[in-house]
Amino acid sequence: MTCLAEPFAVVHSVAGRVRLRLPRGLDGVRLARAAAAVDGVFDARANALAHSLVVTYDRERTDVERLRLAVRSLAATAETGRCRRPDHGLMAVAGSLAATAGVHVVPAGLRLPVALSTTAPLLGHAVEDWRENGLTSHGLEGLAVAISLARADYTAATTTAFMLTLGEHLEEGVARRADEMLAGLLRPTDATVWVRRDGGEIAIPRDAVEVGDSVVVAAGTVVPVDGTVLSGEAMVDEAVMTGESVSVTKARGAAVLSGTLVEEGRLIVYAEHVGRQTASARIADYVEQCLGAKSEAQIEANRLADRLVPLVLKLAGGAFLVSGDWRRAASVLQADYACALKLATPVAFKSAMYTAGRSAILVKGAQALERLASADTFVFDKTGTLTTGRLEVTEAVTFDSRYGPEDLINLAASVEEHYFHPLAMAVVAAARASAHYRHFDHREVEFIVAHGVASVIEGRRIVVGSRHFVAEDEGIDVAAHAEVIDRLYGEGKTLLFIGFGGELIGILALRDALREAAAATIARLRANGVKRVLMLTGDHRERAADLAAALGLDGFHAELMPHDKAAIVERLAAEGARIAFVGDGINDAPALAGAHVGIAMHRGADIARLTADIALLEDDLERIADAKEIADEAMRRISRNYRTTVWLNSAILGAAAFGFLSPVTTAILHNGTTIGILLASLRQRLRRRPGSSAVAATKAPTAAAPRP
C-alpha cells in the first residue's frame, strides 16, 4: 500500500549524510527537531535559504529512502492544510497579547509601530502565502487586519492578530495531540535486552537480538520481541496492544507481543520476530509512513475550503458596497471555512487510527478506514478465518469390537505424541481431554514423512496415517469400509487410518473448528449496514455448505484455486459491490490486494499481512466488526464536522455581513468554534462487547528496567 504521494527529493547524498529539498513555507526548524528524533539519525539541520534539510545518520540503522519517507511523513502535519502559520508558540502568543494590551496605553504616535510589531508577521505570511498559493484564508485574515490598520483602528488590528495567533496555537496543539496519540500507542523498549547465551544471562543491545534467542523479561520490563513463552509465569499488561484493561497470565506456550508490559513474574521468551519485524515496530513504521496520507474525504474538504475563500471575499466586498462600512468588511474577512474543514478531517482519522491500534487493529492509513466504512459486501476466506485453522477430532469410528472410540484415540495418541504435526497435536489433545485417558507403552516411533507414524505396542505393529500409507505401503485392506470412508470424506473431514496387527481397527475423523465468535461477528457486521456476507474456500462443497448454513451466510464458493478467489472478488467489484476481503493465507494475497479493502488475520502469512490494508494484531475475529464500527464512527464524525462547520461559519459570516459582529467578536467566535470542532474530532467512541475496553488507560512503563 502506498501511503505517501511523492517523497521529498534528494538534492545530494554521501555516505551517512543526505540533503533533502523542502517545500517553501514549511517550518524547517521545527521539522529538523522532529527529524533528529528519528531512529538512526545523529543530527538534522534546516537551511532556510536553500529550502533544504541536511540529515546525518547511522548507515547501519537506516538508509536514505527510509529517512526520506520519515521526513515526508513528519512534514505531513504542516501539509494538512494551509491553515497554520509557522512558529505560533507560547512566546508568539505572549508577545501578541502584550502588544494588544500596550496599544491602549502608549502615546498616540507609538500606537502604529506597536500595532505593526504584532501584525507584521501575520501580514508577511499572508503576502507570502498569496504569492505561492493564491488567495487563501491567510489572505483574507491579512486583508482584514490591513483594513483595521488603514482605519487607524489599532485595537481591532492587534486584538484580531492576538486571537488568530492564540487560535492557531491551540489548533496546532490539537492536531499535534492527534499525532502524539498514535506515537504514544507504543511503549519504547529498553536499549538493552537480557538473553540466555552460553549457559548464562547477558545484556545485549536491543538491535542485537536475533530470532531464536531466549529473551529474559522480568517484572517492570517491556517485552522487546514477539514470541512464545518457553518458561516462567507472569502477569502481562497488554492494554497498549489489545485494548484489554485486565492483565493476563502468560505461561509456557503462550504468545507475547512486543510493547506489552510484564507487571509481575518473570518469563523466558523464544524470539520469533525481532527488530523491525515485531508487531510494535510494524505499527510504528505504518504510523510513520501513513500519518499524513490524505483520504478522499480530506481532499474533498480541502477543495471545498479553497472554493469558499473567493465567496467570503465577495461577501465582504458586497457588505462594504451596501453599507459603506469597512468594519463590516473586516468582520466578514475574519471568518472562513478553511481551518475547520482542512484540519478536523485528518484529526478525526488519526483519532480513529489510534482507537483501532488500542483495539489490536493496525490500520494502514486514512484511506483504509474510508474504504472500510463504505464496504457493503464482506467476503471471508474459510480456513484460519471463519475457522480456527486448528483441527479437532470429531469422530472415532471403530471396526473392531475389542476397541472402543476412546481406545482408538489413546492408541493413536500414544505414538503421535512425539510428532509435532497439526493432526498429531489434535489427536493428543483429544486423548488428554478424554475421561479415560491412557498411555500405551510402545517401542521407538518411526516417522514416515507425509504419510504417518509406526511403532510396536504389545508386540504388534501399529500404524497411524493416511489412507495411502495404511492401504498401499502397509498392505492393510480398507475396501470393506469404503462406504463409511466415502461418507466421512464427503463431509469434508480429514481422516487418520489406524492399523493394528495388520488390520484396520478404526478411523479418526478431524475437522477444522469454527471460531466461537464467527456468528456474533457476522451479526454485528449486518447490524452495521453490511448487505452481503460471502465465503470463499478450497474445501469440499459439502463442508462449505454446512458452514455457510450454520452461519447464515448469503452465499459461498467452494473447491477454489487461489486465482479463483481473486477472480470472484474482481467479478463482484465489477458488479458494483464494495468488497472487504478477510483472509490469512499466501493464497489470499491476490484477493486481499484486489478488494476494495483487505483485512488480514493475526496469524496470517506475512505476504497476506503486507498486502492487506488492515491487519489484526490479535487472533480474535470480532476485531473485524470492531474495525467496521471504528471506520463508520469516523465517517459519521467527519460528516458532522462538515455540517457543523458550514452552519456555524455561515451564521457568523451572515451576522458579520449585517453588522451585528465587530472584527474582534468575529475572530473570537470563528477561532472558538474551530477549536471546538477539532476537540470533538479527537474523540472516538466504540461500542464494545462486555468485558473489554478499547480505550483502556495505558499504564506508564517502569522508568528503569531491572536486571532479570
Catalytic (active-site) positions: 381
CA distance 312 to 331: 11
- Listing DSSP states for 594-633 in one string gives HSSEEEE-TT--HHHHHH-SEEESSS-THHHHHHHHHHHH
Rounded to a whole number of angstroms, the CA Rg of the chain reads: 32
Write out the three cell numbers for 398. 471403530
CA distances from 576 to 295, 583, 599 (A): 21, 21, 20
The residue written with cell numbers 548507515 in the block is 59
- Could you list the beta-strand ranges (E) of 399-541: 446-448, 452-457, 460-465, 494-500, 503-514, 532-536
Per-residue burial over 462-486, b = 16 or more CB atoms within 10 Å of its CB, e = otherwise: bbbbbbebbbeebebebeebeebbe
- Could you list the beta-strand ranges (E) of 372-459: 377-381, 387-398, 446-448, 452-457
User: For residue 15, how many other CB atoms are within 10 A of its CB?
Assistant: 7
CA distance 235 to 231: 13
Specify the DSSP element, H or E, that contains 426.
helix 422-432
CA dihedral (172, 175, 176, 177) positive or negative: positive
CA distance 468 to 264: 51
Given a contact cutoff of 8 angstroms between Cβ atoms, the answer to whether 666 and 652 are in contact is: yes
CA distance 556 to 695: 36
What residues pair up with 194 in beta bridges, in sequence order? 203, 216
CA distance 199 to 196: 7
Q: In a 3-state reduction of DSSP, which class is residue 664?
A: helix
690: burial class by Cβ within 10 Å (0-12, 13-18, 19+)?
exposed
Specify the DSSP element, H or E, that contains 490.
helix 482-490
What string of H, E and C letters represents the secondary structure of 109-121? HHHHHHHHHHHHH
